[in-house]
Amino acid sequence: MEVQSRAMLSQCRVVPQSPNFRLRAMAPNTTHTTVELNRFAEVGNILADAAGEVIRKYFRKNFDILQKHDLSPVTIADQSAEQAMVSILLDTFPSHAIYGEENGWRCKEKSADYVWVLDPIDGTKSFITGKPVFGTLIALLQNGTPILGIIDQPVLRERWIGITGKRTTLNGQEISTRTCADLSQAYLYTTSPHLFSGDAEEAFTRVRSKVKIPLYGCDCYAYALLSSGFVDLVVESGLKPYDFLALIPVIEGAGGVITDWKGDQLVWEASPLSIATSFNVVAAGDKQIHQQALDSLQWK
């Protein structure tokens, strides 16, 4: 993967997180102590470690590839990594609920204040083909709001952690998105142009035609690169809640913006009856480029 030097991008630059953003990000955190959030993050790290151990054992190895009911691929690595995380959560937080991509809702009760949303391998096709741009996604929701998000790339051993009210980190170092003066200077990522159809394809084409460079094939890793200030925009269609909930604290904690294509907050509450509906997602390094993307999408 080619990552452009920041020095070459004269109109797209990394800037420190603004004070206004910091106040906005801290607002949802009023009911949590630092100790509580740190404990949740500690457990999130343990989950990512456990999933990573499983995933590395299977990466670029021979294994059976199965098909789910929606014809998407699933492997023993997906299933085993999710089970490893679930086992830890059941022991550590028995009152918390779990919603995993592979096995759905797990909780003794019909509802819970805290719900862990897990995607053991976001980008299974990349994993199957030996390309290390997939990731493990871990989100913790409190009354439906993501308060913790982790993007973990277990092969490259890169881990982005977003905690409400705090700056996002990559392997312990604080990071920031970058600003971009105009959509014409933006570097855009999407997993594949072939994943869009109908009106969504037309909307994406409008954005793609205006950016400087469109890039493909990164799954959740594209959002991680955006959080680190290497790209400006990610536009995708048909994402499930477990595909994007972990991204929200990571991107917002780095100073970025992530919404649906109308500019509305991404909201999904997990329950035994919840259906993993599809969402159209746009993420940007700053509000200006985000608004320009929304104006181009023209989504109604």
Domain end position, chosen among 148, 174, 200: 174
| Range of weakest confidence among 23-32, 131-140, 266-275 | 23-32
Based on the domain organization, do 164 and 194 belong to the same domain? Answer: no
Say what percent of the chain tops pLDDT 70.
89
SS3 55: helix
Domain CATH for 68 = 3.30.540.10
Tokens representing 5 are 């030097």
155 and 205 co-located in one domain: no
28 in a domain, yes or no?
A: yes
Nearest to 245 by CA among 167, 166, 149: 149
**Using one digit for the tens of pLDDT, what is the confidence trace for 5-59?**
334 344 676 655 443 333 333 344 446 788 999 999 999 999 999 999 999 999 9
Last residue of a domain, one of 127, 146, 174: 174
Q: Write the burial class of residue 156 (CB in 10 Å: 0-12 exposed, 13-18 middle, 19+ buried).
A: exposed
- The pLDDT of residue 20 is 37
Give the residue numbers of the binding site. Answer: 101, 119, 121-122, 243
Instruction: Provide the number of structural domains found in the chain.
Output: 2
Report if residue 223 sits inside a domain.
Answer: yes
Both 217 and 122 in a single domain?
A: no
E-only strand ranges, the chain: 12-14, 65-67, 73-75, 97-100, 104-106, 114-122, 135-142, 145-153, 158-163, 169-170, 173-174, 178-180, 187-190, 213-216, 233-239, 257-260, 279-284
In this prediction, residue 194 carries a pLDDT of 87
**167 & 231 share domain:** no
- Measured at the CA of 42, the angle between CA 253 and CA 255, to 5 degrees, comes to 5
Q: What's the domain range around 110? A: 23-174
In a domain, 5, yes or no: no
Q: How many CB atoms lie within 10 A of CB 243?
A: 24
- Are residue 167 and residue 190 in the same domain, yes or no? no
For 221-231, what is the mean pLDDT?
Answer: 98
Q: 39 — alpha (psi -120 to 50), left (phi > 0) or beta?
A: alpha
Confidence at residue 123, expressed as pLDDT on a 0 to 100 scale:
94
Task: Measure the N-to-C terminal CA separation of the chain; round to a whole number of Å.
Answer: 34
Both 147 and 60 in one domain: the answer is yes
List the binding residues for Mg(2+).
101, 119, 121-122, 243
